[in-house]
Structure 1
């Protein structure tokens, strides 16, 4: 892409492009070819003050939390329609900024529309409980009311999809929102906010402030006008956000890192397990919090399975993410590419057996060298970084097991607890694993799967709180108990004489 096609953005506040307080900007280059594609405002405290004030006014005084639920739903449905109508532009923006292959970005944008549509349906539903069986002519109500102004922090790996896992559900409940997207991938959030304004979303309900986390993110996290923070990103940053949010007693939900196990049992459908294993680690170049980066394979089938896996991995097409035939696109940046390569080199030095990939490559003319070939290490021990640490790249560690009990123990031997996968045709094995695997999500004979109705989130160092489903909606609400009496009040004190 030529530089003259570069997109340039201000902040988006109260349905208008807002001139930033500072002239500082953040440039974004396409990681696949190093061409400059976007320039974003570097937000700070002054910009965040304006955005939070707009969201606060919209919540405290505006129509959004007070309008009939069906009217909120209608607006969210219109936003979903506009995302679909503008899908090609959104896809191109995501490919330019993330470097992800087109075949996967199409799914991300489609999911974003589906999430807005599902949230719209939830907005129109009744949320709460009523109890008419209380004693003494009393009725109890349990109300779910919007928590208030929500700060949303979105990572760089699934910009539009994770935006849509959070924002429409907060909006459906009646909350107003301030979003701080990743400084590397802010385009889709700004474009969706613009579409939302054209769909009739009232001013101040959805606001976007761009910039680096150290400035814009910190200002959002510590702002006294924010009632809740919903964050997706690394465990280290999540821990910092939890600590900083404590000063103002904010509600916090965090979806953090992962080191997911992909268990292939001896009785598995090996064709399905093979394709699932490939997808679980190499889709999106492994830059995925639920990537199946630890392959646990039954000893009796390991040699045959790994031989087939190597052949499939080496046949994947690495190249220009804009092309429909590309399987693996670019890593997010040169710095992250180097970080992933550092793990590979460390594993080599430590004597681990490299059986596929391990290279930094330039896959074609005009492309950068921010590409890493699908990499597989065999016979990895649980005490090594390959097994224990989140690499966030196309690097698979392989460890063998003899029994399903050993496999579950190995899977649980991690600080993380986001997702795990098991491939088996034995129902008893599947059910036992589903109960004993310590993660917020378990896939059985499928992987990287989900639906808007189903909650998503982790346990242990992978965070707390949920996105999607009823649980995801409920996280954006406060519970209020109301007790109504139709009988005269009887005091516990002695009657007056």
Structure 2
């Protein structure tokens, strides 16, 4: 059997009827020969069959990663050589950009523009870490009395990485790029709903020159495959992006072997529009903040607080522009909102909206499933705005993960901060104001890892991404991420001319 590296990626068709796992540089079936089906959520149609891993498959993936790490194939590469390989990964991705985007759209139902932006950021992630690792080194500390101390950064080892379905390609890049830049080996588990671009990215890593066993991908249910990774004694670190309840479960299981952890979990991010805000900018930014990626985003700004003096003016434009959003063929450049990932998720979203109505809230627009011409069997939900809510309602307290925003008034800065922080989450937040003093004061008091000021975007390569409170811990997408994939070794050396005799014997 030939390895992926020996094949020619430019001849490889990314769209297939069957996708295998990648273990030790080879495409392999599950040992039990089982498969599962992945779908196109925009049409509801079968997209492909995928190898369904078991615990035994996880064992062989971890063994491959462990062997690759222990024999030093990758971690002993000079940093500049590792950097060249990461840039080569990015180069191959750029050359096949349109194919990656198409596959991402087909497997996730997201709009073309959203997929294009996310695949481009995935490319830039590898380029960023190719540069960042060159300057990631230890320190030298001059000590008195003839002592010298220096530190060095060493890769943490085998990393189990579990990613969600909302950003399949981008989350795979966020995880793989810093891990292999640091010299680690990886066992990646993509979400069963959206495994395809993660599999292809793993193949691209090998084509670019990553040695066999350094990047492995296993596909299958989180309850079995994910747990097997988290509990495996051969895994040194777990990086997980997903819901808070699952993150808590992973933290408990990983504690049994004291694995290093990075957890990027749920959110219920506040979006505050002050009286002096640029109304148009705030409306456009608030629409993007909740309806981008069909609201299926951990940092979606799903709680909107508008100053009472501009509330009516803001809401008139906000509702009008929301109603103009175009749902349709995800591959059409004019489509602005894609499909929901699955029938199950659509029902969860609708259940939250119904609960809000039952508790006395008002739906200003949306609040129902949508039929899209030509995509009648897909999963579509109208962009939804809900008012007349209180902080005791489920729709305000819990993460919905869909195109649903709740809107409330506030009267002053102190109240806005109190409302924003009245949540168990602390991932993203947004502020709209023309006053720099207001922006700075509020940003310093909001309990969240990300604060967006007059800006709808939450992350670029090089900017830390992560949360406070039950939104997790650790930061991704930045130089500091490399510290989470390395150990710091302290070396203390004595160079004095006189022998040391501390006990005076």
TM-score range relative to shorter protein: over 0.9
Partner of residue 387, structure 1: 396
User: What is residue 133 of structure 2 aligned with on the other side?
Assistant: 123
Residues in 1 aligned to 2:176 and 2:499: alpha-carbon distance in whole angstroms: 44
CA contact (8 A) 2:449 2:466 kept: yes
> Which residue of the partner structure matches residue 193 of structure 2?
184
2:35 pairs with 1:25: yes
TM-superposed CA distance for 1:144, in Å, is: 1.5
- Candidates 58, 71, 79, aligned match of 1:69: 79
Of 92, 97, 117, the match for 1:87: 97
Alpha-carbon separation, structure 1, partners of 2:445 and 2:499: 51
How has the CA–CA distance of structure 1 residues 493 and 203 changed in structure 2, closer, same or farther, with 3 Å as cutoff? same
Could you report, residue by residue, the CA deviation over 1:362-395 in whole angstroms, capped at 9, with x for unpaired residues? 1112432511111001121111112111000111
Contact 2:271–2:302 (CA<8 Å) still a contact in 1? yes
Q: Please, which moves more after superposition, 423-432 or 14-23?
A: 14-23
In the alignment, is the contact (CA less than 8 A) between 2:158 and 2:236 conserved in 1? yes
- Report the TM-score when normalising by structure 1: 0.97
Q: Which residue does the alignment assign to 2:218?
A: 209
Q: 1:370 aligns with which of 375, 379, 389?
A: 379
| Structure 1, 112-121 or 357-366: larger mean CA deviation | 357-366
Provide the residue aligned with 2:486 in structure 1: 477
Per-residue Cα deviation, 1:210-231 (whole angstroms, up to 9, x for no partner)? 0110111111111000000000
Q: How many residues align?
A: 490
Q: Name the structure 2 match of 1:421.
A: 430
Q: TM-score, normalised by structure 2?
A: 0.95
2:363 pairs, out of 354, 360, 372, with 354
The whole-number CA distance in structure 2 between the counterparts of 1:379 and 1:331 is: 26
Whether the 8 Å CA contact 1:260–1:293 is kept in 2: the answer is yes
Q: Could you tell me whether the CA contact under 8 Å between 2:355 and 2:395 is conserved in 1?
A: no
SS in 1 for 2:491: strand
1:311 to 2:356 alignment: no
Which consecutive unaligned segments of at least 5 residues does structure 2 have? 1-14
Match of 1:244 among 248, 253, 260: 253
Q: Distance in 1 between matches of 2:228 and 2:476?
A: 24
Among 8, 19, 29, the residue aligned to 2:18: 8
CA contact (8 A) 1:361 1:369 kept: no
Cα displacement string for residues 106-133 of structure 1 (whole angstroms, at most 9, x for unaligned residues):
000000000000011122224111112x
- 2: CA distance, partners of 1:202 / 1:440: 35
Partner in structure 2 of residue 43 of structure 1 = 53
CA contact (8 A) 2:238 2:262 kept: yes
Matched, 1:284 2:293: yes
1:198 and 2:228 correspond: no
Whole-angstrom CA distance in 2 between matches of 1:425 and 1:144: 43
Q: Which runs of 5+ in 1 are unaligned?
A: none
Structure 1 segment 134-145 matched on structure 2, within 5 A: 134-145=143-154
CA deviations 1:387-436 (Å, max 9, x no partner) are: 11100011110010000110011000000000100001111111111110
The answer as to whether partners of 1:355 and 1:376 remain within 8 angstroms in 2 is: yes
* Cα displacement string for residues 289-323 of structure 1 (whole angstroms, at most 9, x for unaligned residues): 00000000000000110010000000000111111
Compared with structure 1, are the counterparts of its residues 143 and 62 closer, same or farther at alpha carbon in structure 2 (3 Å cutoff)? closer
Which residue in 2 is equivalent to 1:411?
420
**Structure 1 position 185, deviation (Å):** 0.7
Q: Could you list the per-position Cα deviations for residues 177-205 of structure 1 after superposition, in whole angstroms to 9, with x for gaps in the alignment?
A: 11000011111111011111111111011
1:379/1:400 contact within 8 Å kept: no
